[in-house]
């Protein structure tokens, strides 16, 4: 037993010496990570930067600006939409794929971190050995030709991370996990926005359907009017034919709207993870108004877009890969140790004299590889440059999307006022031509023309309202919804920093 204690004490001494070596000699080769700059205005103060076309819409965010945070869809005030949005995170299959990818990336952190600790293994064996009677080393007359061999070994191996290869591998895995977490949030936000868009498209179809239903009823009354006038000898047969044609054409449009509505209803069902045959929404005309959405300064957008955060984390990961490639130029130093017991009889296997041990370092250095390490290093640097370009392009695209939808909301707001005036004018014109027709002053063709113009304007008013709501949804999506880069460390499950 005294021998066992000696072995254990020696191994502990070696481990302590190893830690001292790491403290004194450990270093990390490769570039230190610096977050890349993105093409934007140099300063964001209280003044709104004039480099943005929609500059009057960019304002400093305040703590009370809660309109586009968290459950952003609640700003539209639609209980049915709220209920549908709540089902996306739990039931959407594409989102489940993104969540599984995150768990996979998080497991990779633990896999790489395991290299920071020694690997201990054992391979017990028991055998009965028959030696040759003609063995030159052990003549059969002197030693028995058969014997037992029982071995209980323990092996330890550990790579001294002198150049930071292991540490950088762990950091790269952590940054990939954070990027994957941001990918999940990007997918979630995109699906939530897609559901809201489909929902408003469906409600716009309901509004179009209601309008066309009312119009069909009105045209049916007009047809009856022209038939009565024809029977009374006041109107020609052509008026009846025109009224019938207009009614039939409007009925076709009324029926065609139901096709679009069915498609949007099916799309919503898939987004919430249900078969289309098991899902339905009762008709409800579009009666929403676009909410007021605070935008915040452009610089804040870099913290509120999960896709930007994912791109930035992959720049950091690519930077770590440069250091890993650089570490390959330096020798690898590892510590190996073996200890255990070996005996020809199992009864004496754990006795002191049966113990054995060995410990010592090993160094490995590649002397010639025909340029393989250099190519790996160049590849890592090229990948870093590509990641930086992707990060900057993602940021530019984010600014574009915000600008696009801010402009759309501003322009469509003016267009709504113009369209309301056009609808009112068309209704007045229709009333005048209808009265003149009843008075025998104008032909029915004038009434049909006025009715066609009035219907087109009312349908266009519904479409503009839908487009304004769509632009509101897309603006919230462009602003990152309720997400923030600080959420990377609190994503749904244990933090990636815990691994």
Q: Could you read off the pLDDT of 382-437 as tens digits, one per residue?
A: 999 999 999 999 999 998 998 999 999 999 999 999 999 999 999 999 999 999 98
Q: Residues of the chain with pLDDT > 90: what percent?
A: 55
Distance CA 458, CA 451 (A): 11
Of the given ranges (120-129, 182-191, 287-296), which has the lowest mean pLDDT? 287-296
53 or 280, higher pLDDT:
280
Please say if the pLDDT value at position 12 is more than 90.
Answer: no
Question: What's the confidence (pLDDT) of residue 15?
Answer: 52
Mean pLDDT for the stretch of residues 72-101: 93
CB 321 within 8 A of CB 496: no
Please say if the pLDDT value at position 144 is more than 60.
Answer: no
Mean pLDDT for the stretch of residues 113-122: 91
- Per-residue confidence band for 208, with pLDDT thresholds at 50, 70 and 90: very high
Mean pLDDT for the stretch of residues 465-490: 83
Of the given ranges (23-27, 230-234, 269-273), which has the lowest mean pLDDT? 23-27
> What is the H or E stretch that residue 413 is in?
helix 372-438
Question: What's the confidence (pLDDT) of residue 66?
Answer: 34
CB atoms closer than 10 angstroms to residue 264: 20
Question: What's the confidence (pLDDT) of residue 455?
Answer: 96
> What is the H or E stretch that residue 11 is in?
helix 2-25
Question: What's the confidence (pLDDT) of residue 46?
Answer: 35
CB atoms closer than 10 angstroms to residue 216: 17
Which residue ranges make up each domain of the chain?
Answer: 1-30+123-160+335-364, 31-119+164-330+371-498
Question: What's the confidence (pLDDT) of residue 99?
Answer: 92
Question: What's the confidence (pLDDT) of residue 142?
Answer: 52
Please say if the pLDDT value at position 340 is more than 70.
Answer: yes
Question: What's the confidence (pLDDT) of residue 146?
Answer: 66
CB 209 within 8 A of CB 257: yes
Question: What's the confidence (pLDDT) of residue 329?
Answer: 92
Question: What's the confidence (pLDDT) of residue 292?
Answer: 83
Of the given ranges (213-227, 237-251, 280-294), which has the lowest mean pLDDT? 280-294
Mean pLDDT for the stretch of residues 472-491: 76
- Per-residue confidence band for 135, with pLDDT thresholds at 50, 70 and 90: low
SS3 (DSSP) at 30:
coil
What would the pLDDT profile of 151-177 be if each residue is shown by its tens digit? 888 999 988 888 889 999 999 999 999
Token pair for 222: 């007009």
Among the listed residues 339, 245, 265, 300, the one whose alpha carbon sits nearest the alpha carbon of residue 480: 300
Question: What's the confidence (pLDDT) of residue 405?
Answer: 92
Please say if the pLDDT value at position 69 is more than 70.
Answer: no
Question: What's the confidence (pLDDT) of residue 491?
Answer: 45
355 or 215, higher pLDDT:
215
Distance CA 258, CA 248 (A): 16
Of the given ranges (110-124, 233-247, 288-302, 308-322), which has the lowest mean pLDDT? 288-302
Question: What's the confidence (pLDDT) of residue 438?
Answer: 86
Question: What's the confidence (pLDDT) of residue 13?
Answer: 58
Among the listed residues 204, 193, 246, the one whose alpha carbon sits nearest the alpha carbon of residue 85: 193
- Per-residue confidence band for 440, with pLDDT thresholds at 50, 70 and 90: confident
Question: What's the confidence (pLDDT) of residue 284?
Answer: 92
Of the given ranges (28-42, 69-83, 398-412), which has the lowest mean pLDDT? 28-42
In CATH, which superfamily holds the domain spanning 1-30+123-160+335-364? Answer: Outer membrane efflux proteins (OEP) (2.20.200.10)
- Per-residue confidence band for 217, with pLDDT thresholds at 50, 70 and 90: very high
Q: Residues of the chain with pLDDT > 70: what percent?
A: 81
Question: What's the confidence (pLDDT) of residue 68?
Answer: 37
- Per-residue confidence band for 108, with pLDDT thresholds at 50, 70 and 90: very high
Q: Do domains 1-30+123-160+335-364 and 31-119+164-330+371-498 have the same CATH topology?
A: no
Of the given ranges (211-220, 375-384, 489-498), which has the lowest mean pLDDT? 489-498
Please say if the pLDDT value at position 278 is more than 70.
Answer: yes
Q: SS3 helix, strand, coil % of the chain, rounded to 5? A: 65, 10, 25
> What is the H or E stretch that residue 349 is in?
none
Burial of 351 (0-12, 13-18, 19+ CB in 10 A): middle
Question: What's the confidence (pLDDT) of residue 133?
Answer: 65
Question: What's the confidence (pLDDT) of residue 489?
Answer: 57
Please say if the pLDDT value at position 248 is more than 50.
Answer: yes
Backbone angles phi, psi at 305, to 5 degrees: -105, 120
Token pair for 262: 């069915």
Distance CA 14, CA 337 (A): 9
CA distances from 194 to 121, 270, 329, 477 (A): 52, 11, 49, 10
Domain boundaries 31-119+164-330+371-498, corresponding CATH code: 1.20.1600.10
Mean pLDDT for the stretch of residues 235-257: 93
- Per-residue confidence band for 2, with pLDDT thresholds at 50, 70 and 90: low
């Amino acid at each position: 037993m005294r021998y066992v204690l000696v072995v254990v004490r020696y191994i502990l001494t070696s481990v302590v010496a190893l830690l001292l070596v790491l403290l004194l000699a450990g270093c990390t080769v490769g570039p230190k990570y610096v977050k890349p700059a993105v093409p934007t205005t140099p300063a964001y103060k209280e003044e709104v930067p004039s480099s943005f076309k929609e500059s009057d819409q960019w304002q400093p965010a305040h703590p009370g600006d809660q309109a586009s945070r968290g459950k952003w869809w609640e700003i539209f005030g639609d209980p049915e939409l709220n209920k549908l949005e709540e089902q996306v995170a739990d039931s959407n299959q594409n989102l489940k794929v993104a969540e599984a990818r995150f768990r996979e990336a998080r497991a990779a952190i633990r896999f790489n971190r395991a290299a920071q600790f020694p690997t201990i293994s054992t391979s017990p064996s028991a055998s009965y050995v028959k030696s040759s009677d003609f063995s030159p080393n052990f003549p059969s007359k002197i030693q028995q030709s058969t014997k037992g061999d029982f071995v209980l070994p323990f092996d330890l191996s550990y790579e001294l991370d002198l150049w930071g290869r292991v540490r950088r591998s762990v950091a790269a895995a952590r940054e990939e996990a954070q990027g994957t977490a941001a990918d999940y949030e990007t997918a979630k936000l995109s699906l939530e926005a897609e559901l809201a868009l489909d929902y408003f498209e469906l409600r716009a179809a309901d509004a179009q359907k209601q309008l066309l239903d009312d119009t069909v009823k009105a045209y049916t009354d007009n047809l009856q009017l022209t038939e009565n006038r024809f029977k009374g000898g006041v109107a020609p047969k052509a008026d009846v034919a025109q009224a019938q044609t207009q009614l039939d054409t409007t009925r076709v449009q009324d029926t065609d709207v139901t096709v679009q509505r069915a498609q949007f209803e099916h799309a919503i069902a898939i987004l919430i993870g249900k078969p289309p045959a098991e899902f339905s929404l009762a008709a409800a005309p579009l009666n929403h108004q676009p909410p007021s959405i605070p935008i915040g300064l452009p610089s804040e957008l870099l913290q509120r877009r999960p896709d930007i955060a994912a791109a930035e984390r992959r720049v950091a990961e690519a930077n770590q890969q440069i250091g890993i490639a650089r570490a390959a130029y330096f020798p690898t130093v590892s510590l190996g140790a073996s200890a255990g017991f070996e005996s020809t009889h199992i009864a004496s296997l754990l006795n002191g004299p049966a113990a054995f041990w060995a410990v010592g370092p090993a160094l490995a250095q590649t002397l010639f590889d025909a340029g393989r390490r250099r190519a790996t290093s160049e590849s890592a640097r090229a990948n870093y440059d590509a990641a930086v370009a992707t990060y900057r392009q993602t940021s530019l695209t984010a600014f574009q999307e915000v600008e696009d939808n801010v402009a759309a909301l501003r322009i469509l707001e003016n267009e709504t006022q113009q369209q309301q005036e056009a609808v009112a004018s068309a209704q007045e014109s229709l009333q005048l031509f209808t009265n003149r027709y009843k008075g025998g002053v104008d032909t029915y063709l004038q009434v049909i023309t006025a009715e066609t113009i009035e219907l087109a304007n009312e349908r266009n008013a519904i479409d503009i309202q839908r487009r304004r709501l769509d632009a509101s949804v897309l603006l919230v999506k462009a602003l990152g919804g309720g997400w923030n880069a600080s959420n990377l460390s609190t994503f749904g499950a244990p933090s990636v920093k815990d691994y």
